[in-house]
Amino acid sequence: MQVLGLDHIVLRVRDMERMVAFWRDALGCTVEKVQAELGLVHIRAGNALIDLVDIKGKLGREGGRAPEAEGRNLDHFCLRVEPFDPAAIRARLESLGVAVDQPRRRFGAEGYGDSIYLSDPEGNRIELKGASEPGER
């Protein structure tokens, strides 16, 4: 067996409408599929999916308490983005009221490169990462 990459992650959410708007409007993702009977919305993020599960829906009720600032089960996840223009990314997100950290050089799946951190409306930390520097792992 060989792992090829990230297929999807699942986030349990309190406010589905606000979270869908964030992924669509702030990060430019699209809604791939809605399974209303489960309280599940699949968001397309490049070649991966981000599944949003409403905590009040069928699947969400199975997961226990809602995510909280002091009770997360995920530190962050990283999305590889192109083009990676930190100033443009910051300007777009800040115009939508999303706070964005300063870019920093970090290690990722492709090696070292610049990335920035932000949080979605429910406090999930997201890293947006640009291309890695050639030849450095």
Q: What is the pLDDT of residues 38-52, one digit of tens each?
A: 999 999 999 899 999
Give a yes or no: residue 2 inside a domain.
no
Q: What's the pLDDT at 123?
A: 87
Average pLDDT of the segment spanning 67-80: 76
- pLDDT surpasses 80 at 21: yes
Q: Which CATH number does the domain housing residue 44 bear?
A: 3.10.180.10
Taken in order 67, 69, 72, 77, is the CA torsion positive or negative?
positive
- How far apart, in whole angstroms, are the C-alpha atoms of residue 16 and residue 129? 25
CA nearest to 79, candidates 123, 35, 29, 36: 29
Q: 45: domain range? A: 8-129
Cis peptide before 121 (omega within 30 of 0): no
Least confident interval from 56-60, 72-76, 129-133: 72-76
Q: Which residue has the tokens 């640009």?
A: 130
Higher pLDDT, 98 or 63: 98
57 domain-assigned: yes
Count the domains in the chain: 1
Inside any domain, residue 3: no
Q: Is the pLDDT of residue 137 over 60?
A: no
- The pLDDT-based confidence of 109 (bands split at 50, 70, 90) is confident
Q: Which DSSP state fits 95?
A: H
Assigned domain for 44 exists: yes
In a domain? residue 136: no
pLDDT at 73: 64
Mean of pLDDT values over 66-87: 81
Residue with the bigger pLDDT between 114 and 69: it is 114
- Do the domain assignments include residue 135? no
